[in-house]
Amino acid sequence: MKKFRFLILPFILFISACGWFKSPPEIGKVLSEHFKNKIYKDFDTVAYDSIFVKTMDSLSGKFVNPKTIKAFYLNHSAEPKLVTQFYINGELDSLVNYLNESKVHGFNPKIFKGDEIKNLLDELTANKFKKVEESYPVIAKLELLSANAYLNYNNYLKYGVVNPRTIFSRYYIKVKRPDSLGMINLLNSKSLVDTLRSVQPKSAQYKALQDAYLNTDAYDEKRILLLNMERFRWKMPETGTNYVQVNIPDFKLTWFDKSDTVITMKVCVGGKRENGYEEKLKAFAKSGNLDDKPKNHETPLLFSRINSIQANPIWNIPVSIAQSEIYWMARKDPYYLSNSNIKVYYKDKLIGEPDTINWSKYSRDKLPFKFKQGSGGGNALGKFKFIFDNSSSIYLHDTNNKNGFNLTNRAISHGCVRIEKPLQFAELLVKDSYTYDKLRAEVDLPPIDSTHVKWYKKRMAQKADTTKAFQLKPAWFGPKKSVPLIITYITAWSQNDKIEYRPDVYGMDEKLWTAMKKFR
């Protein structure tokens, strides 16, 4: 608060020197004419400025965006623009109505102080001031509370009340948040009502959740609906009308083209982090012992574009998996690596006989080796890997373990997303019969187009030729054009005119509910 008062001193001097406009100022003219009350013709801008600054100082500590509000009024010489423009025409009353009806969006109307604004409006409307200076505290407080409520209401509906990137450690989607320029533009609006009307969420999903929220009294159901209404308020990146979505709680991949579904399939996602993860992580930070390190394989939430397909992929095994799994398997079974087609590298040089490594000589937290699993049937990535830019080394891929798709809870991977129908997915991506048949040939599948049989047979003959060594290698293919991909987390949504609910597999609902506490 001391810092804010220090900043406000030049503000006082500036606006006091300005005196706004010629006497009486616009607010004086408006109120004098409206009330037919000559006291407002004596409206003293210098005296009002002093009251305004004190009111700002007393209220700003509870404002969400105090610096923006202060900057706006500094730029407008503390003129009560909202009261001047929107009191007489009733738009401040309309603002109060919108604030009080914010419960239809799951908000507690008290957070906007609509009742206090209404009382100030009533006090101004009563027109019982004996002297004009008696109106100054009412006008100043009405102006500032209205500005704060107006900004907050618009921002909450347009961007959501919570920034997910601040509460979720693996949320890498760049959601757009309110900025000072946008808020200044809001305060300069020509019509509050038009702005309030336009900011109402229009998506069919949001409206369906909202209807369900207003039509149920069940606490748990209202809670889930409210959480997902908030998710649909977040300003997500533009996916366009043709995009792929992976919804973690649903364990599904869906390719959308406008309102149509191109394909849908089951997926397996990363396993949930250990119970008590935060406390265990603190213990690991102190000890540095890998035995204390808690597991966290949760698939991150992200937005990217699928830009390439790799047939017969090589798996570059992450250090974390090498330490927690590969190391122990190799110690237990000296032939595990060769039987699993896993090659070992020391200083980027291939070790010819990894079965001879004495693993007991090495600490798993300081392994000097890198591990790669070669292409082929036993590869954990299966026959296809779908690649998109991201900072977490995450991708979509096939799997050699199809049984996982039969599970109800498919949060079982190390973080990447296993997809049920990789071949069909690849076909949709390449959108070209020649390229698709080339891709099929790489995984020993006959071509769809009979004119491509010749080179398919040639490849199969090369593979079957025992006089020559045939080494299976990765082959790269490009999609017809990159396709937007969003990996998201939605636990309730509308589908076929009913609300679908899914379990909170990562506990993200709980964390979001806590963050939204003060708005409920």
* Active site members: 397, 416
Sheet of 369-373: strands edge to edge?
315-316, 369-373, 342-346, 349-350
Q: Which amino acid is at 58?
A: S
Structure tokens at 24: 């009486």
At residue 215, φ and ψ (nearest 5 deg) are -105, 10
Q: In terms of Cα–Cα distance, which of 456, 442, 337 is closest to 383?
A: 442
What is the spatial distance between Cα 307 and Cα 481, in angstroms, rounded to a whole number? 7
Per the CB < 8 A criterion, the answer to whether 398 and 384 are in contact is yes
Longest dimension (CA), the chain: 109
The letter for the amino acid at 84 is T
What is the DSSP secondary structure assignment for residue 212, as one 8-state letter? Answer: H
- Around 428, how many Cα atoms within 13 Å sit in the side-chain half-sphere? 19
Detail the DSSP E strand segments found in 1-138. none
Distance CA 123, CA 396 (A): 62
Q: Cα(150)–Cα(158) distance, rounded to whole angstroms?
A: 12
Residue 258: C-alpha distances to residues 11, 239, 262, 370 (Å): 52, 11, 10, 44
